[in-house]
Amino acid sequence: MPTGADGILYVVGTPIGNPADITARALEVLAAVDLIACEDTRRTGRILAAHSIRTPMLSYFEHNEVRRAAELVDRLRRGDKIALVTDAGTPAISDPGYRLVRAAIEAGVRVTAVPGPSAVVAALSISGLPTDRFVFEGFLPAKAAARRSALLALAHEARTIVFFEAGRRLGECLTEMAAVFGADRIAVVFRELTKTYEEIVRGTLADLASRFSREPALGEVTLVVEGAREPSADREKAPHALDEARAVEVLREAGLSLKQAAAAVARLTGGSRREIYQAALRARGS
């Protein structure tokens, strides 16, 4: 039961691209609160200016969240009403905002949602893939070994999988997924969702890996991947048991050169790029 005075933390969804997607209730709350905690005051400032809202703002993002959370909770306990927003979409989803939400709850402050756009739900709704059950993985680790482990752990996940990814890493990410999940697994790439130049590309992981290795994407991407269709016959193998030769061939079929495919498999397995390359040459000559 909340014990804070009359303080309230509103978690407010904002547009993921198209500014017209903001809700009437979100505008009402943003105009009425004492303070808006936002990831980027410039981006949120543009939304406020477009609707003649002059509520004060305070930056709250990954690198100042610990200090800011304490300040914000202190204000909430004194009775302030604060809106939490992110640059786009729903705060606290793959976002440091969840730490403020947790701190407010622990302090006995009332926390309430003002629902709005979500890239996860928007992408799922038009993906054409099963949505009765899905899993959200957010951003994969940036380091190759950790990313490899994460993908291997998901190789037999039967639910539809949703990822976020930076456009510059999309080709590499899809290449690794094709090697681990299988070249024929269906996926959908969503770029610039709800914006003027929205791009939606559907295909197999092999096809998508080939395209986005040749044509790097720009901006942030939401990626929806089909779940595993049936348990693999090799399911009893250890998670690291990736068939390197088969993986190289899958990536070659996706349009990568032998050198590129060997390098990608080496990142996935932690093996020697040179040895994998030489083994692939021997396999092709046999």
pLDDT tens digits along 49-69: 999 999 999 999 878 888 899
109 and 232, same domain (yes or no): no
* Same-domain pairing of 57 and 103: yes
Q: Report the predicted TM-score, pTM, of the whole model to 2 decimal places.
A: 0.78
Q: What is the CATH number of the domain that holds 162?
A: 3.30.950.10
Which position has the token pair 């890493």? 169
pLDDT of residue 5: 59
Does one domain contain both 166 and 269? yes
> What integer pLDDT is reported at residue 231 of this predicted model?
58
Does residue 3 form part of some domain?
A: no
Which structural domain range is residue 39 located in? 8-117
Give the model's pLDDT for residue 237. Answer: 45
Tell me if 2 is assigned to some domain.
Answer: no
Looking at residue 75, what is its pLDDT?
97
Q: Are residues 81 and 212 in the same domain?
A: no
Q: Are residues 239 and 127 in the same domain?
A: yes
Q: How many independent structural domains does the chain possess?
A: 2
